[in-house]
Structure 1
Amino acid sequence: MAEIIYDAVVVGGGPAGSTAAHTLALKGKQVLLMDKRGRIKPCGGAIPPRLIKDFNIPDNLLVAKAKSARMVSPVGKTVDIPIENGFVGMVDRAQFDEWLRNRAQEAGAIREDGLFESLEREGPYARIYYRSRGPSDGVDGAVKSVLTKSVIGADGAKSQVGRSAGVKGCAEANYVFAYHEIIKTPTDRPLSFDATRCDVLYQKPISPDFYGWVFPHGDTISIGTGSADKGFSLRNAVAKLRADIGLDQAELIRHEGAPLPMKPLKKWDDGKQVVLAGDAAGVVAPASGEGIYYAMLGGQLAGEAVYEFVESNNPAKLQLARKRFMKEHRLTFIVLGIMQYFWYTTDKRRESFVKMCEDKDVQRLTFESYMNKKLVRKKPMAHVKIFLKDMGHLLGLAKV
């Protein structure tokens, strides 16, 4: 029997990979979706209304709906920001990611539990070697291979697929290391916890250069933190955060850790057969750490670019994934990158940043941009007002 040659092999079954596989399967392409069984990324699980709408996410996947956000400054000052005319959906990544994988499979993608090992070129094709991780394969499993016309690397930060294919910058990007714990929501929950509010903490013991979070997930809670400081203990910080809010005795369900890229890679493809998506492409938003929407959009665009590549046999089509993504979101990533660089570097600046969040114009424009995934260009006087306040805080002219 002749060996199957896939149109595409997607490595990684998170939001980016599952969406890429779903996109290609809907277009009638023969797709293999390869995922490392049991892998869940540390994530607060927040998804904006635009994601819910654009990707047809059913309401039953939302384990909670956040109606407000609380910012906590280095000295403990709090600013509560209501989410006007809507909500932020909260998902449990274990359930959400599996639903996305199943949707891709229902559209026609073939699923395989496997751990990517290497990529080799065979004429116009790529051969993917992987270690099978099915229920009957044991811990290590057998080394298998498949032949494909194209590959989508959605295997996370420092992508092994990208490095095997020679995509530049996969291992050199800047990363924040994130860790979180999923705990069971206690029946006697402390007064400091609100099941409809996302808490974001800018406190040095919790994170010296990023932030910590407490996000409601219905029956569970995600408590986590991130930092680029490799010497900072994320586990200890989360333990302190749990104790500070009275949830140190809550039942631990699971915990995860992973690096989060803070800047899109300058190149997402190898100019031959491979294109990256999601964390592998570096599309986690600076300052906020948000990645689910950008991962799914990047996966969709990677799937569309691969479709055009397979149809035309023109490797230049692979570049379209990055070009289309950056055309829509380049400015957002620039603004958030500048914001993180300026406001997260010292406690004094983080104190000023939280103070700025008291401003109603800041709140309104921030959430409008987040919910709709577009920088708000209307209300020019509000932007001028925010800019003047921003400069006042930067120059130390505003009171904290």
Structure 2
Amino acid sequence: MPKLRLALTIIGWLLVMAIAVTAASTSVIYAYRYGIILAGLEPQPWLTGAALAIADVVKIGLPAIIVALWARSHRATARTLSVVFAMLLGLSLWSLTSITAIERAANDAKTRTASQVETDLRNEMTAAENRIVELGSPPPVAAVEAEIDGFKADARWRTTDACNPLHVFPSTQRFCEKAALKQAARANAAEADGLRMRIDEIRRKLTTPAPDEAKAASPELTTISDVFGWRTESVGFARAVFFAISLELLGAFVPSAVWYLRPVIGTGSPVPKSVPQPAKIADTPGVPRPPTPSAPSRQVTRKASTGKRGCKRDPNVLDFVRKFRERHGRSPNIPEMRAEFPGLHKSTLWRAARVALDTEHCPQQLTALRLRRCRSIG
């Protein structure tokens, strides 16, 4: 059961770490895109994009490295890397803000172009309608040509040789004047028909839904600008900065935080088993005592002295080791002790752990030591 729980914990942590790394890769993608745009006129702009992307990847792992170096008392290296991290963070903020502003400017340019086209079409339609009014709003060309055909079917059109001035008489003069007016009206009607066709075409264009690239990229910016009276450009820049800071905080610190929450897989130092000690033998005259090996006596003497030194150690550390063994059934390892006591050195914690273990078995060791000494004297 504990192994299954540990396996599920590891799998869950791996999933969370994968999500954190995926979220952090968003900043890397934006850095690469900014490098491509920045080096757009170079022969190989992808090199600049790759360089910025690699720098952004390094930035993601720096917080964990800085904390580890600081905990191991490498303060100078940690401070230097902190400066490097701040510079890379600033570069990423600049990249994100710039790419957001560039894309919005491009979309706004498309929107302005579409808006200008619509304005020009409306102006052209108004001018065509005014011209038709100037022409007297003539009827369609087909109606005018039908009237002209009526004049041509008249006998006077044939007798005057199509209203030739040389053959026009006073009796046919009025007829030819009307025919001439209709022929002049035919030109105006043809022009009016062309203008009417253009007006219909413009109306179809204006009623057709605008394509996506012609729509406003961020309509909410215009709404905020109208409500608060701010400039649309200022609102867009503030949004780009907020977007960049949010992504950088997500990509720069979340993976390191998840890394420090990783489950502990190590078993730590093994718990020393208590060695059964021989029962104390009373001093009886004439009873021989069994011989005692000398090598274990030296080992016990060393441990006993260690236990005596351990009694002077930090009681908080000793109490932590004892409680940890009671809860987990094993001794804490150095990373677990450093997480509890970050101000103490690694060697100090290691000695304190040894002292705590020896102190727990100190009474039995002292009893065995006294027994061996008595036997050696006897």
Bin for the TM-score computed over the shorter chain: under 0.3
**Structure with the higher fraction of residues in strand conformation:** 1
Q: Which of these two proteins has the greater Rg computed from alpha carbons?
A: 2
Q: TM-score, normalised by structure 1?
A: 0.18
**Structure with the higher fraction of residues in helix conformation:** 2
